[in-house]
Amino acid sequence: MTLADTFARTRAEGRAAVVGCMPAGFPTVEGSIAAMTAMVEAGVDIVEVELPYSDPVMDGPVIQRASDIALAGGVRTADVLRIVEAVAAAGAPVAMMTYWAPVEKYGPDRFARDFAAAGGVGLITPDLIPDEAGEWLAAADRYDLDRVFLVAPSSTDARLAMTVGHCRGFVYATSVMGVTGARERTSSAAPALVARVRAADPAIPVAVGLGVRDGDQAAAVGGYADGVIVGSALIRCLLDAPDEPAGLAALRALSADLAAGVRRSPSGRAAAKVQA
């Protein structure tokens, strides 16, 4: 299943997609496979596997802590690719969130080849802007992978149009100026940013990330975006749990809550269609 297929399906159902993020190898290689499989079984539509990196400057304390645990456990890029393969078997498309350094070291072409072979569908690149992405764009085309770049409230119209033009799969709209992490309120800047992306390209799906922590917030974001990206809140289920079964149970519960949330409010796009 591709990202395009998934968004077509969720649009047909009149709702936003839930994109769930989890660092590969956290808490262990097997534990992360179990966690992401549980997320899919409980209703997460798209899995975003984060490749743990030593210097994750876009991530807040929760994802950084989980990444540190994964790295301290000895997870390697080769393990991450194995995890992608295992999680893809659960049926949801698996995208990867990765800082550029590990991909550059692996070799962008070789990485794209091995990631595609593992069943991955595309990369989300928080510190790679299209301006520097020549090698990756070529590799993505060669192996038919989607490429998801980030746009921010601070992006100029010209940069936003350029960035959206290079996206395939979906556009990642960072809803607040800040790092990842669950917040009390999601941003008021997000609807405006989504509208700007739609103005640049009415067709490509837009997913909103940074700050969503529960079904109610997912319902709110799902009211205007095509996808709701949730990371830190899911990771906390595992970090805060006394043991692995309890963590997986919490993870399933939150995934189900998010899945129910996006079904409570018709997506902005679907709602607009109904009104028309």
Partner 1 sequence: MGAPAVPDATGHFGRFGGRFMPEALVAALDQLDGAWREARVDPAFTAEFDRLLREYAGTPSMLYPATRLSAEVGARILLKREDLNHTGAHKVRNVLGQALLTRRMGKRRIIAETGAGQHGVASATAAALFDLECVVYQGEVDTRRQALNVARMRMLGATVVPVTTGSRTLKDAMNEALRDWVSTVDDTHYLIGTAAGPHPFPELVRDLVRGIGVEARAQCLEATGALPDAVAACVGGGSNAIGIMHPFLDDAEVRLYGFEAGGDGVGTGRHAASISGGGVGVLHGTRTYVLQDDDGQTVESHSISAGLDYPGVGPEHAWLHDSGRATYRAVDDAAAMAAFRQLCRTEGIIPAIESAHALAGVVAVVPELTAALGREPTIVVNLSGRGDKDMHTAAAYFDLLDTEGGPR
Q: Which is nearer to partner 1, 43 or 181 (CB)?
A: 181
Q: Which is nearer to partner 1, 56 or 261 (CB)?
A: 56
Q: Could you say which of 45, 48, 50, 146 is catalytic?
A: 48
The answer to whether 48 is a known catalytic residue is: yes
The CB-of-101 to partner 1 minimum distance in angstroms stands at 4
The CB-of-124 to partner 1 minimum distance in angstroms stands at 12
Q: Could you say which of 5, 45, 50, 59 is catalytic?
A: 59
The answer to whether 59 is a known catalytic residue is: yes
The CB-of-102 to partner 1 minimum distance in angstroms stands at 4
Q: Which is nearer to partner 1, 41 or 68 (CB)?
A: 68
Closest CA to 100 of 134, 64, 151: 134
Q: Which is nearer to partner 1, 14 or 178 (CB)?
A: 178
Q: Which is nearer to partner 1, 62 or 92 (CB)?
A: 62
Report helix, strand or coil for 45: coil
Phi, psi (rounded to 5 degrees) for 183: -125, 155
Q: How far is CA 211 from CA 18, 50, 105, 175, 231, in A?
A: 14, 17, 30, 8, 8
Report helix, strand or coil for 24: coil
Binding site for partner 1 (CB under 8 A): 53-58, 60-61, 64, 68, 71, 76-77, 100-106, 126-129, 131-132, 149-156, 159, 163, 174, 176-179
The CB-of-67 to partner 1 minimum distance in angstroms stands at 10
Phi, psi (rounded to 5 degrees) for 155: -65, 135
**Contact predicate 123/98, CB 8 Å:** yes
How far from each other are the two terminal CA atoms of the chain, in whole angstroms? Answer: 30
CA 19 from chain centre, in angstroms, equals: 5
Helix (H) or strand (E) holding 116: helix 108-117
Residues with Cβ < 8 Å from 26, sequence gap 6 or more?
32, 35, 52, 66, 67, 69, 70, 73, 235, 238
The CB-of-159 to partner 1 minimum distance in angstroms stands at 6
Question: Residue 27: is the preceding peptide bond cis (ω within 30°)?
Answer: yes
The residues that are catalytic are 48, 59
